[in-house]
């Protein structure tokens, strides 16, 4: 192109297009899916961004294709134009032709690389990372239009890339993982507490919440107290006496590891002291020792059970866990307000 204004306009357009593809790439990688889902209820652009996040590898293939095309276009249009514009200017300084030609080639390469790297890549990348959801939503519809035109080629390229990834033993995914794993979150909590950015009481609560994702009921019964129980055929007076000794409102019925029934002391208050407890005895709520604390807490709240009998692989009782025991992993202060 001999017209310098045409070169300038073409260069600006190419760099802007490169910035667009770079911003799309980093915005989708950094955007939180739940925030896009919230915005999708009222925004067509957010719905388009959500669709793009569901086929992330194909969208990234489109972004990479666009960035590569822009790089080649700068090399084919802008770089030769700058090279040829600088050569006579350097010659006018008294340089030999070959020296001016080499120097203008190097300078043209530096100028084009600077424009593409800083303006076309680094600046939009920083913007997209700083405002991931906003940039993902703003750029979603133009990117979907590009994807519609080039989808067959992108699907083919993505399939080839997936075959290469599988060849080294890695299974490709279409969506980016969201959130942090418990180990990373625990390290963040511990670091924040150590540097004084997080109060110790909050640190204990967060650490306890993370324990719910990995700890099991079997972990709790190792330190649990001996269950309060009375033998089958006991009387109301026996249950009330056991409750007074232990301070527990729920008393198990059975012996040894055969504890599959429970009596709540309030159900005995209207009965004579020598009345049998069979009428107020009900099956105990039981869960396996391998049940995660998070699952146990959810089930106990849903079924309104404050006590769970923990059974082993043989079906016999290994111990008892109360709601207070589970809540104690969150905070001793919280557990203190729960009754056994």
pLDDT score of 46 more than 70: yes
Q: How much is the pLDDT for 24? A: 92
Spatial distance between the Cα atoms of 170 and 3, rounded to a whole number of angstroms: 50
Q: What pTM did the predictor assign?
A: 0.54
pLDDT digits (tens, 9 = 90+) for 61-75: 899 999 999 999 998
Whether residue 241 sits in one domain with residue 201: no
How many structural domains comprise the chain? 3
- Structural domain of 154: 4-167
Instruction: Name the β-bridge partners of 262.
Output: 252, 282
Is the model more confident about 338 or about 167? 167
Spatial distance between the Cα atoms of 209 and 331, rounded to a whole number of angstroms: 9
In percent, the amount of the chain with pLDDT more than 90 equals 12
Whether residue 62 sits in one domain with residue 199: no
Confidence label for 181 from pLDDT (cuts 50, 70 and 90):
low
**Residue 10 neighbours by CB under 8 Å, 6+ apart:** 1, 73, 77, 78
Whether residue 232 sits in one domain with residue 156: no
The closest of 105, 108, 101 to 74, measured between CA atoms, is 108
Whether residue 141 sits in one domain with residue 20: yes
In percent, the amount of the chain with pLDDT more than 70 equals 81
Whether residue 103 sits in one domain with residue 33: yes
Q: Judge whether 172 lies within some domain.
A: no
pLDDT score of 224 more than 90: no
3-state secondary structure 64-91: HHHHHHHHHHHHHHHHHHHHHHHHHHHH
Low-confidence winner among 9-13, 207-211, 213-217 (lowest mean pLDDT): 207-211
Whether residue 253 sits in one domain with residue 147: no
Spatial distance between the Cα atoms of 97 and 215, rounded to a whole number of angstroms: 76
Whether residue 145 sits in one domain with residue 77: yes
């Amino acid at each position: 192109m001999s017209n310098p204004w045409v070169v300038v306009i073409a260069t600006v357009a190419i760099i802007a297009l490169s910035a667009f593809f770079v911003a799309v790439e980093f915005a989708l990688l950094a955007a939180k899916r739940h925030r896009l889902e919230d915005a999708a209820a009222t925004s067509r652009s957010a719905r388009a961004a959500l669709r793009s996040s569901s086929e992330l590898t194909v969208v990234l293939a489109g972004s990479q294709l666009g960035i590569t095309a822009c790089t080649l276009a700068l090399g084919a249009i802008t770089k030769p134009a700058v090279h040829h514009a600088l050569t006579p200017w350097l010659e006018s300084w008294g340089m030999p032709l070959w020296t001016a030609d080499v120097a203008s080639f190097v300078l043209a390469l530096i100028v084009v690389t600077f424009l593409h790297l800083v303006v076309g890549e680094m600046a939009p990348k920083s913007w997209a990372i700083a405002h991931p959801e906003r940039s993902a939503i703003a750029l979603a519809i133009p990117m979907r239009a590009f994807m519609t035109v080039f989808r067959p080629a992108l699907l083919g390229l993505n399939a080839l890339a997936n075959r290469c990834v599988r060849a080294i033993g890695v299974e490709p995914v279409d969506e980016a993982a969201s959130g942090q794993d418990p180990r990373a979150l625990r390290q963040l909590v511990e670091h924040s507490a150590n540097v004084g950015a997080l109060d110790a009481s909050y640190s204990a609560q967060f650490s306890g919440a993370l324990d719910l994702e990995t700890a099991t009921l079997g972990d709790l019964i190792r330190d649990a107290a001996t269950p309060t129980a009375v033998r089958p055929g006991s009387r109301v007076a026996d249950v009330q006496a056991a409750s007074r000794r232990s301070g527990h409102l729920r008393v198990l019925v059975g012996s040894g590891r055969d504890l599959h029934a429970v009596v709540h002391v309030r159900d005995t208050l209207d009965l004579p002291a020598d009345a049998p407890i069979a009428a107020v005895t009900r099956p105990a709520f039981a869960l396996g020792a391998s049940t995660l604390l998070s699952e146990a807490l959810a089930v106990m709240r849903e079924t309104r059970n404050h006590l769970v009998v923990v059974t082993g692989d043989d079906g016999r009782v290994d111990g008892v866990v109360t709601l207070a025991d589970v809540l104690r992993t969150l905070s001793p202060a919280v557990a203190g307000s729960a009754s056994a």
